[in-house]
Amino acid sequence: MQLSTYNGLSKLFRLLMVTGLTFGCAAKDPKDTVVSPVEPASANKPAVILAMNDIYRINGVKRGTEGGMARIAHLLQELKTNNDVLVLHGGDILSPSLLGDSYKGQQMIDLMNLFDGTRDPETPDASLLAVFGNHEFDYGKCKKPAPLVARINQSEFIWLAGNLDFNKCPAGTPGLAPLANAKNIMSHKTVTVGGIKFGIFGLTINNADYWQLLTHRDRSYDEAMDAKTREKMNLESYVKAATELTAKLRKENVDYVIALTHLDWSHDLEILERLQGEAGPDLIIGGHNHAAGIKSPSNSSRAVYKQTAEARDVGVHKFQKQKDGRISHSHNTVSLKGTQKTPVMQKETDVWLSRHEPEFCKTAGPGKTPLTNNCLEDPMGVTQMVWELEEDDNRGKETAIGNWLAEKMVDNARGNTGAFCQADGGAKPVVVSLLGSGSLRLNFQLEKGYAMQRREIEELFPFSLDLAMICTDGANLKAQLTQGLSKVGQGAWPHISGLNIAYKEPSERGDDITLKSVKNAAQQDISDSQPIIVITNSYIAGQGDGYKWGICPGVTEWDDCFFRRISTGKEKNAKLVMKNGENIDMKQQILEEFYAVGAGGVGPSTFVRHLKNEAPN
């Protein structure tokens, strides 16, 4: 990998000094000496980009049999044998994961720093570029910047932030200003790979945790706006940023422009559709959606490429400059199931895993009591039917495990609602539950008869499942179901209980679904004025993932809404679900229940459907 001829010579001279090698040449008069530029050796090798996205677990999934950093490193070594290789990461690196909760992403950065085979904190490695994903901000926000700042300082590679301004945190917060001047954060970057000059820029999706940081908006972002207006503003900002950054790179005479994005499919496709020819990128390599795919807009031959989360597969993109200057491109998805590992990377992975388990187990029991040092191997029951937890299933399909968990939420609320949400005239509220699919993170299917360990349950629920109840009405419930069911492939897609819904998918990309009917568990129509109690977890209750319950006025971040308003009793129409005077953490409850069963059957044993999805016209 060479950034320029100068850098290539500089590295060559350092190598000569270290090895003691010298060159000899015939003596000439000094005035006749000509110093010719040295062609970088990498220019003679084909250009390859190794692409990945949304990797949370350093050891992969299925108890380390698929994915993992050591398998990526081994493939990278193989590719480097005959190719000049650039690595692109489509975001979501630091969180969420079981280890990430303990180390705030430190373990992932430690291993990514080893991809180039060296540790050099003074010089960012330009052969590895990553874009910021929304989960980079789980432990690093304007009000709590320290973990994210520490991870960027730890990174020995380059982060791309083409539509983020780290100076825009609200007044009164500590802010993320140190990142505005970080030497390894850039909006765009030119890198020469295999003799081809690539221009690469990064785009990050909007999120309530850091919405102030997004650029290219023509007016202030007001959380009181309706969801469609907000989404339109977000989309316009992505297109404007892509337009500006592409133009900057074209002016630098690059051969090929790549957008490295952490956006939804619909956003990526809109960019390619609207920015034709030289106005837009030649290719988008992205993340955020967790299943591998290739999509092109109807009016363009350009495409968006994404890979399966957790590096269960990665993308290998090959480029070649033709005689007429055009760049040819081919792509191959490479499975990392059971493939070889690099010993050095696996050794470092094992160090982190060995460190984590005893530390974690010290406070993993009920009430943060200690468990045995190898508690993650505790038996946690046996599945009685298939648990469909692949991302494509979990984030866009009704599943038995999703319904079962949603029903558990309703079970926990029984006898807890009292006079809460009684309408004028004493109409009895309908109790339903809604669990955002982003709360479930195992990302692989558990077959019937799978003997689970504590590790699987902990990884399934990386976030707290503190429960709350929201008082709303039928009209608002329908509005929130519409926006949630429209987010196929995203964490906002809901698993439900207490409802029977028929809906119609949109015929156009980006449109919302159309609700055909919404009935209660007894198959009775829910009217717009019907009082509704929604049982949900802390994130959705705090209006995360775009759910707007009409609570927490003026509050824009979900944790402020939940922990500073709902849990403190300041919200009239929202409160905690309590048991024995304590808020219910459903994750802990499930852990205790499954552990008590041991080798017996746990989870759903039947599957009753509540959603009817009709095809578009």
Residue range 275-302, pLDDT digits in tens: 999 999 999 999 999 999 999 998 888 9
CA 475 to CA 477: how far, in whole Å? 5
Which residues on neighbouring strands pair with residue 331, listed in sequence order? 317
Instruction: Compute the average pLDDT of residues 113-125.
Output: 76
What percent of the chain clears pLDDT 70, i.e. is strictly above it?
90
Residue of 160, 60, 155, 61 whose CA lies nearest to 105: 155
Domain 374-614 has CATH 3.20.20.70: no
pLDDT at 505: 87
What was the pLDDT predicted at 42?
58
pLDDT attached to residue 596: 94
Q: What is the pLDDT of residue 159?
A: 98
Per-domain residue ranges for the chain? 47-335, 374-614
Q: Which helix (H) or strand (E) holds 331?
A: strand 327-335
**pLDDT in the model for residue 186:** 97
Cα dihedral value 121, 124, 130, 135, nearest 10? 30
Q: What is the pLDDT of residue 118?
A: 66
Q: Which residue has the tokens 């301004």?
A: 165
Predicted confidence band of residue 20 (pLDDT cuts 50, 70, 90): very low
Rounded average pLDDT over 351-363: 97
Measured between alpha carbons, how far is 428 from 441 in angstroms, rounded to an integer? 35
Does residue 18 register a pLDDT over 60?
no
- Per-residue confidence (pLDDT) for residue 21, from 0 to 100: 32
Q: Which of 86-90, 95-99, 242-246, 417-421 bottoms out in mean pLDDT, i.e. has the lowest?
A: 417-421
Alpha-helical segments (H) within 120-226: 146-154, 177-180
pLDDT of residue 492: 94
Give the full edge-to-edge strand order of the sheet including 430-436. 494-497, 430-436, 531-537, 467-473, 574-576
Identify the weakest region by mean pLDDT among 265-274, 305-314, 577-586, 588-597. 577-586
φ, ψ at 331 (rounded to 5°) = -140, 145
Give dist(CA 173, CA 166) in Å, integer.
12
Tell whether the model's pLDDT for residue 17 goes beyond 90.
no
Percent of the chain predicted with pLDDT > 90: 77
- Which of the following CATH numbers is that of domain 47-335: 3.20.20.80, 3.40.720.10, 3.60.21.10, 3.40.220.10? 3.60.21.10
* Band (555; pLDDT cuts 50, 70, 90): confident
- H-state helical runs in 311-421: 343-361, 391-394, 400-413
Residue 565 DSSP symbol: I
Q: What gap in Å lies between CA 109 and CA 152, rounded to an integer?
A: 9
CB 163 within 8 A of CB 195: no
Contact of 573 with 472, CB cutoff 8 Å: yes
Position 416 confidence tier, pLDDT thresholds 50, 70, 90: confident
Q: Taking every pair of C-alpha atoms in the chain, what is the biggest distance, in angstroms?
A: 106
Instruction: Give the sign of the dihedral formed by CA 402, CA 407, CA 413, CA 419.
Output: positive
Residue 26 has pLDDT above 60, yes or no: no
Q: With cut-offs at 50, 70 and 90, classify the pLDDT of residue 224.
A: low
Distance CA 31, CA 363 (A): 75
Residue 581 CB: number of other CB atoms within 10 A? Answer: 5
374-614 has the same fold as 47-335: no
- Of 382, 391, 397, which Cα lies nearest the Cα of 607? 397
Write out the two tokens for 101. 């909760």
DSSP structural state of residue 275: S
State residue 6's pLDDT score: 29
- Which string of b and e fits 433-455 if b means at least 16 CB within 10 Å? bbbbbbbbbbbbbbeeeeebbbb
Residue 163 to residue 241: CA distance in whole angstroms: 6
Mind listing the pLDDT tens digit for each residue in 539-550? 999 999 989 999
Can you spell out the DSSP letters for 501-556?
EEEE--SSTTPPPEEEEEEETTSPBPPTT-EEEEEEEHHHHTTGGG---S-STT--
> Of the ranges 155-159, 217-221, 248-252, which one carries the lowest mean pLDDT score?
217-221
- How big is the chain by its Cα radius of gyration, in Å? 26
pLDDT tens per residue across span 529-539 = 999 999 999 99
Closest CA to 265 of 244, 234, 235, 286: 286
pLDDT at 417: 78
- For the segment 451-457, the average pLDDT, to the nearest whole number, is 96
- Give the per-residue pLDDT at 561: 94
Q: What is the pLDDT of residue 2?
A: 37
Q: What is the Cα–Cα distance from 237 to 165, expressed in whole angstroms?
A: 13
**Which tens digit of pLDDT belongs to each residue from 174-207?**
999 999 999 999 999 999 999 999 999 999 999 8
Is the per-residue pLDDT at 326 higher than 70? yes
pLDDT score, position 221: 67
Average pLDDT over residues 551-556: 88
Q: What is the mean pLDDT of residues 385-405?
A: 95
3-class DSSP state of 112: helix
Alpha helix stretches (DSSP H) within 373-451: 391-394, 400-413
Return the pLDDT at 8. Answer: 35
Report the chain's mean pLDDT, rounded to a whole number.
89
